[in-house]
Structure 1
Amino acid sequence: MLEIKDLHVFYGAIHALKGISLTVADGELVSLIGANGAGKTTTLHAISGLLPAASGSILLDGTDLQKVPANTIIGLGMAHVPEGRHVFARMTVEENLRMGAYILRDQKRISENLERVYGHFPRLKERRRQLAGTLSGGEQQMLSTGRALMTDPKIVLMDEPSMGLSPLLVKEIFSIIQELHKSGITILLVEQNAKMALAVSDRAYVLETGTISMEGPAAELAADDRVRKAYLGA
C-alpha cells in the first residue's frame, strides 16, 4: 500500500532524513520508533506532503504522492493524526468531526461515518455538543483520531498519540489503536513509547538520526537486546 524508497529530506542545511526506505502493507500496523529528533515526525510530514523531499519516492497504491498537492492527498485514502492533536478548540466535538469529512459531498455517507466514529469513541458521542477545547487530553486525542476516520481512509498516519497523557489514558489510547487495526484500518504509527508501540504492531522500524537502523517483526525487535537497552528501559 505505502512504499517509501531512499527518501531524503532537509531542513535548510540539516539533513533530516538520509535515504530511508519502508513499506506498509494493506491491513498492517507498522510502528516507527526512535528517540526525539530521530526524524519520525519529519517522515510523516514528508509522506503527507507537508515537507518537500529532496529525493526519493513516496508511493500510495502506486500513486506518487510527491506529485499530489498536500490538500488533496486525503482524497487518495490517507489521513494524518498530527502530533499535539490540533483540534479546533472553539468548535464542538461534532463540528470537528464534520470538518474531517470536508472532501465529502454525500450527506448520507457523512452521517454514516459519524455514527461509525461514535461507535469507536462513545465518549465523543456523549460530548458531541461540547467545545473541543474543554475536553481532556485523552478525549482530544480520540477526537483527532475520529476526525481522521471521517473519510474512511485506507491508511492512517498517527504521530505520537500517547504524548502528554497519563499512563491510564495511554493504555486506553493504545487499546483504541488495536481496535482500529482489528477493524481493518492500516496504520503507520510514530511513537516514542516504544514498549507500547511494539506490543500492538505487526512490524516496526527503528529510526536513528535520520536513518533506519533496524527493522523486522515487532515481537523480534521487542526481544532484541539493543532495542531493549535503548528504548525499553531494560
Structure 2
Amino acid sequence: MLKVNDLQVFYGMIHAIKGVSFEVKKGEIVTLIGANGAGKTTILQSLSGMLKPKSGTIEYNGTELSTIEPHKIVQKGLAHVPEGRRVFYQMTVEENLELGGFSVKDKKQIDEGLKNAYEKFPRLYERRKQLAGTLSGGEQQMLAIGRALMSKPEIILMDEPSMGLAPILVKEIFNIIQEINKAGMTVLLVEQNANMALSIAHRAYVLETGKIVLEGNSKDLMGNTEIKKAYLGG
C-alpha cells in the first residue's frame, strides 16, 4: 500500500532523514518509534506533502507522492493527524470536522462522516457547538482524529497522539486507534510511548538520528533487550 525507498530529507544543511526505507501493508498498524529528534515527524510530514524530500521515493497505491501537493494527497486517501493536534481553536467542533471533509464533494457523505464521528466520539457531539480551543487535550485529540477521518482515507498517519495526555486518556486514544484499524483503516503511528505503540502495532521500525536501526514484529521488538533498555524502561 505504502512504500518508502531511500528517503533523504534536509532542513537547510541539516541531513534529517538518511536513506530511510519501509513499507506499510493494507490493514496494518505500523509504528515508528524513537527518541525526540530521531526524525519521526519529519517522515510523516514528507509522506503528507508538507515537506519535500531531496531524493527517494514515496509510493502509495502505485502513485509517487513526493511531487504531489498536500491537498491532492488527501484526495488520494491519505490523512494526517499532526503532532500537537493542530485543531482550529476559533472554529467550533463541527466546523473543524466539516473542514476535514473539504475534499468530499457529496453532501450526503459529509453528513454521514459527521454522524460516524459523533458515534465514535460522543463527547464531540455534546460539544459540537463549542469552540475547539475550549476542549481538553484529550477531546482535541479526538477531534483531530475525527477531522482526519472525514476525508474518508484509506490510511491515516498519526503523530504522537498520546502527547500531553493523562494515562487514562492515553489508553482511551489507543483503544480508538485499534477500533479504527479493526474497522479496516490502515495506520502509520509515530509515538514516543513505545510501550503503548508496540502493544497495538503489528510491526515496528526503530529510528535513531534519521536512520532505521531495527525493524520487525512488534512482539519480538518488545522482547528485545536493546529496545527494552532504550525505550521501555527495562
**TM class, shorter-length:** over 0.9
Show the counterpart of 1:39. Answer: 39
Q: CA separation in 1, counterparts of 2:202 and 2:158?
A: 15
How far apart are residue 151 of structure 1 and its match? Answer: 1.4
Show the counterpart of 2:109. Answer: 109
2:73 is the alignment partner of 1:61? no
For structure 1, list consecutive stretches of 5 or more residues without a partner in the other structure. Answer: none
Show the counterpart of 1:175. Answer: 175
Q: CA separation in 2, counterparts of 1:16 and 1:66?
A: 16
2:23 is the alignment partner of 1:16? no
Q: CA separation in 1, counterparts of 2:233 and 2:152?
A: 37
How far apart are residue 67 of structure 1 and its match? Answer: 2.3
Show the counterpart of 1:133. Answer: 133
Show the counterpart of 2:159. Answer: 159
Q: CA separation in 2, counterparts of 1:155 and 1:145?
A: 12
CA deviation string 1:31-65 (max 9, x = no partner): 00000000000000111111111111001101000
Show the counterpart of 1:225. Answer: 225
Show the counterpart of 2:209. Answer: 209
CA deviation string 1:60-89 (max 9, x = no partner): 101000121122110000000000001111
Q: CA separation in 2, counterparts of 1:170 and 1:109?
A: 30
SS in 1 for 2:153: coil
SS in 1 for 2:66: helix
Show the counterpart of 2:199. Answer: 199
Q: CA RMSD in A?
A: 0.7
Q: CA separation in 2, counterparts of 1:203 and 1:122?
A: 31
How far apart are residue 198 of structure 1 and its match? Answer: 0.2
2:54 is the alignment partner of 1:51? no
For structure 2, list consecutive stretches of 5 or more residues without a partner in the other structure. Answer: none
Describe how 1:70-149 pairs up with structure 2 within 5 A.
70-149=70-149
Could you list the structure 1 runs, at least 4 aligned residues long, displaced by more than 3 angstroms after superposition: none
Residue 63 of structure 2 aligns to which amino acid in structure 1? T
How far apart are residue 164 of structure 1 and its match? Answer: 0.6
SS in 2 for 1:53: coil
Residue 24 of structure 2 aligns to which amino acid in structure 1? V
SS in 1 for 2:150: helix
SS in 2 for 1:156: strand
SS in 2 for 1:21: strand
Q: TM-score, length-normalised on structure 2?
A: 0.99
Residue 225 of structure 1 aligns to which amino acid in structure 2? T
Residue 129 of structure 1 aligns to which amino acid in structure 2? K
Q: CA separation in 2, counterparts of 1:105 and 1:38?
A: 38
Q: CA separation in 2, counterparts of 1:91 and 1:12?
A: 34
Aligned-pair identity in percent equals 61
CA deviation string 1:156-204 (max 9, x = no partner): 0000000011111111111111111111100000000000000000000
Q: CA separation in 2, counterparts of 1:103 and 1:109?
A: 11
Residue 93 of structure 2 aligns to which amino acid in structure 1? V
SS in 1 for 2:46: helix
Q: CA separation in 2, counterparts of 1:9 and 1:47?
A: 11
